[in-house]
Structure 1
Amino acid sequence: MTVSAHPLPGRGAAGVPGAGPGRVRLAVCVATVAACVPYLTIKIAWLSGSTVGWNDVDAAKDSALYVGNAITMAMDAAAVLVALAFTFRWGLRIPAWAVLAPIWIAAGLLAPIVVAVPLGSALQTLTSSESLTGTDNGLQGWVYAVVYSGFTVQGLGLLAAFVLYARTRWPGVFTSRTRDLPEGATHALQRLLAFGAAGLAAVVALADLFWALGGTAGLTAEEIQDRTVLRHAVDGVSGLLTAAGAGALLLIVLRAGRPRGFVPPLAAAWVGSGATFAGSLYALLVMLGRPAHLASGFTVAEAMTALAGVLAGLVMGLTGAVLLVERDGQMARPIASSTP
């Protein structure tokens, strides 16, 4: 009688032969980093006192915007570091939480842009002669084109880099099936949290889809006037991602669905929960720090929807994290087996 053990995915990954950057990984990394350069350049210019790209010079000098620019520049610089970590061998030695948390936030912020901006821009161009960004809010049009095209490439690049990285560090995830996941000691808690998050997520998704389909209740007069096809597309995609994330998490926790791979529902839950949390948190911070001369404010409905999104996304993310940690712990337990 001998004892064999399944290694915990991620440990010893740095020693996997061929784990270094190949041509595909390097190409993805270069494209992703290059897509960050225009945004970082604009932010550095603004933090240095430049008003390039601004029509409203007073708005460019607002102190709240200065803080916001510093934070968003740091976030984009972090995206560069994440792309490098996904490409080179030293990234395999970073603790899992230090890798997964940033890419969860990045996926949540960039996924709606990757889907909604090309779709909304195309629909806006075909159906309306109005500006893609609605009424003038102080920025010149080319700024939006540069920033959001860069975000689109960043999103696609980080997603591709993460998949390549995950296949090296956690290969077992790609061969698992949802129905085969073991139910550990926290399974009852996972069910409770998943259903609770789904309730909050339903509220957020319905609100986003209501606004996407033309509803105006809960919006300010300025926002109603400034609604564009692109804005409708962003709301619609955000609502669908929230619903997909909550639904996929329930399928995983309940071990439901077809006996296929674990990756599709995990990816949907991952991106959906990240989009719900990060998008809602960003919206909430914008509401609280919005300069008075750029917009009149926000409504209670918008604030409550954003708060519900933050809570729903956070609970969904924590539930998924507990599930994965418990799965890895059980997979790593020694298993007795008979040998001749």
Structure 2
Amino acid sequence: MLSNNRHSRGEYLPQSKEKIHVKIGAKFRAARLALGLTQQEVSENLCDRSYVSLFERDKVSPPVELVVELAKRVKISVSKLLETADEPVRNRSQLLFTDDLVGHGQVNVALQQLEQLWWDAISGHDTALAYEIYHRVLRLINTGMTQVDVSWLTSSIMWLLGQGKNEWALHLGYQLQRILFERGQWQSAVSWGKTLMALAPPLDIRVRAGIGTASALLRQGDFYQAEQQYIDVLECIPANFKIKTQPVAAFIHHGLSAVYGRTNAWQKAYTNADLAVATYHKPSAEYWLAMQNVGIIRGQLGHRREALVILSKCEEYWIQAKDSSRVADLKQDLELL
């Protein structure tokens, strides 16, 4: 059961402050009857049968997670349930419903709803609705969602550019690049990074997209291009330029040390790793990752005792930080010395 008998008393209401004005009970009932299902069958393990009866007569406002599950039982989409001849009311109701979905932790479902609503907005030339969807999507992907198809965002970005909303398009484009990177789609991340930089973005996005592009190039094994991209970003930033309180130069030197390490240019790798350590704020996780890199490189350069001392200090930090994955990685590094 999703909850207790409060469902039967209709005490659950959507989280949105605005009321959803579309009555969906009759449409749900028609879908249920079309499948030959009883109220008891669709309510099983979800809620009381009497609650379904109240729902079908629009006497209660079910919680969003219950609507989603009931809709699945009768094989109808939530979008279809919310359809109405009054398009503005329908669109507003669907927007509010996505807010409820997010409030109940169903971010992926909300994004799927927003995608469908986006295409409706574009085909209906509803610019105001499209802008509202953009702001919701940007908030959601900033929370770290990456589990659903985001290919439609490409069309969204192109549309925003066509509307003269370049800054909006750039912010969404950077988030798309970040998602592609997190999914390991290196070539797509590189392509998007280059597209963003060609649009002459503000320095903040240019730097983020540039580092993301260089990191993706590194991971797909294009070391020369990765090196050039890191250097290009390094040359365009002012002194002490930061991302999330950390100097950008530190990220770049850290990346360059990885590039040179992959190509066995160990002295260059050490120089950049040492610069990263000197630039990162201590005692951040980034600092200790760079320090661990220094230890590995010192070992490669033949300074085994020094490397052991450095890596042992790093191990102490990761143990105190309770980062078991880092501890495991470091133990492997120690075994290789």
Q: TM-score, structure 2 length as denominator?
A: 0.24
Quick one: higher RCO (CA 8 Å, sep 6+), 1 or 2?
1
Which one has a bigger Cα radius of gyration?
2
Q: TM-score, structure 1 length as denominator?
A: 0.24
